C-alpha cells in the first residue's frame, strides 16, 4: 500500500508534467518532438489514473498511446515541411481567438467544477479493480465491448478505402470502373 503523502507528491509531479508537456506540444519547432511531448502528456495522465486506482486503464492508455504516437511521428515525417525542427516553426491562425477560447473554456470549466456539488463516494480501498473490469467486460457490458470491436473493424475498412490509391480495376484517379463484358459495351 502506497502512503498517502507519496500519492499526493506523485500526483503533483504527474499533473504538472501532463500540463507542461501538453502545452509544449504546440510550442515546439519539431513535429516529431510534438508527438513525443503528447506521448509524455498521455503517460502522465496514465500515471494519474494508476494513482486513482484504475491500474488497468492507466497502463493500457500508456501502451496504446506509445504505439499511436510512433505512428503519428511517422505521419509527421511524411507530411511536414519541418519534421526535424531545424527551422523555427510557427503555423497558427486566429491565434488571439484561440487563446481566448482556451482560457475561456478553462475559466468556465473550473467555475463549473467549483460550483458543482459532486456526490462523495470513494472507491473502497480493497476493491479488485482489474478483476471487476474483466467481469464487467465479459458480463453485463459485453454488448458495449462488442460494439466497440465492430466500430474498430468498420474503422479499419473505412481507413483502407479512404487511403488506398487504386481500386480493384485500376487507379482511383481514373475512376476504377469495372471493364465491360463485351469489347464495345458500356462499363457495367
Helical packing angle, 129-137 and 55-79, nearest 10°: 70
Reported as type and span, the H/E element at residue 176 is: none
Question: At closest approach, how far in Å is the CB of 9 from another protein?
Answer: 10
Q: Which three cell numbers stand for residue 167?
A: 481500386
Q: Report residue 27 CA to chain centroid gap.
A: 19
Residue 13, number of CB atoms within 10 A of its CB: 13
Question: At closest approach, how far in Å is the CB of 181 from another protein?
Answer: 31
Residue among 5 and 183 whose Cβ is closer to another protein: 5
Q: Which three cell numbers stand for residue 3?
A: 502512503
Residue among 53 and 185 whose Cβ is closer to another protein: 53
Residue among 88 and 119 whose Cβ is closer to another protein: 119
Question: At closest approach, how far in Å is the CB of 130 from another protein?
Answer: 9
> Is 7:52 a contact under the CB 8 Å cutoff?
no
Give strand pairing partners of 166.
171
> Is 35:71 a contact under the CB 8 Å cutoff?
no
Residue among 1 and 152 whose Cβ is closer to another protein: 152
> Is 17:44 a contact under the CB 8 Å cutoff?
yes
Residue among 9 and 177 whose Cβ is closer to another protein: 9
Residue among 152 and 181 whose Cβ is closer to another protein: 152
Long-range contacts: 3-10, Cβ < 8 Å, 24+? 7/51, 10/47, 10/51
Amino acid at each position: 500500500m502506497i502512503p498517502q503523502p507519496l500519492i499526493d507528491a506523485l500526483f503533483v509531479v504527474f499533473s504538472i508534467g501532463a500540463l507542461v508537456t501538453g502545452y509544449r506540444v504546440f510550442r515546439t519547432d519539431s513535429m516529431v518532438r510534438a508527438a513525443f511531448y503528447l506521448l509524455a502528456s498521455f503517460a502522465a495522465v496514465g500515471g494519474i489514473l494508476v494513482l486513482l486506482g484504475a491500474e488497468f486503464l492507466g497502463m493500457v492508455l500508456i501502451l496504446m498511446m506509445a504505439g499511436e504516437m510512433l505512428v503519428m511521428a511517422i505521419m509527421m515525417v511524411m507530411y511536414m515541411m519541418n519534421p526535424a525542427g531545424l527551422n523555427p516553426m510557427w503555423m497558427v491562425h486566429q491565434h488571439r481567438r484561440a487563446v481566448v477560447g482556451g482560457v475561456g473554456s478553462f475559466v468556465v470549466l473550473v467555475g463549473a467544477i467549483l460550483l458543482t456539488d459532486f456526490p462523495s463516494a470513494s472507491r473502497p480501498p480493497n476493491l479488485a479493480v482489474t478483476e471487476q473490469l474483466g467481469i464487467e467486460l465479459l458480463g453485463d457490458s459485453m454488448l458495449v465491448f462488442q460494439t466497440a470491436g465492430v466500430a474498430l473493424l468498420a474503422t479499419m475498412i473505412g481507413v483502407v478505402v479512404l487511403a488506398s490509391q487504386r481500386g480493384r480495376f485500376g487507379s482511383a484517379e481514373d475512376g476504377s470502373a469495372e471493364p465491360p463484358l463485351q469489347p464495345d459495351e458500356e462499363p457495367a
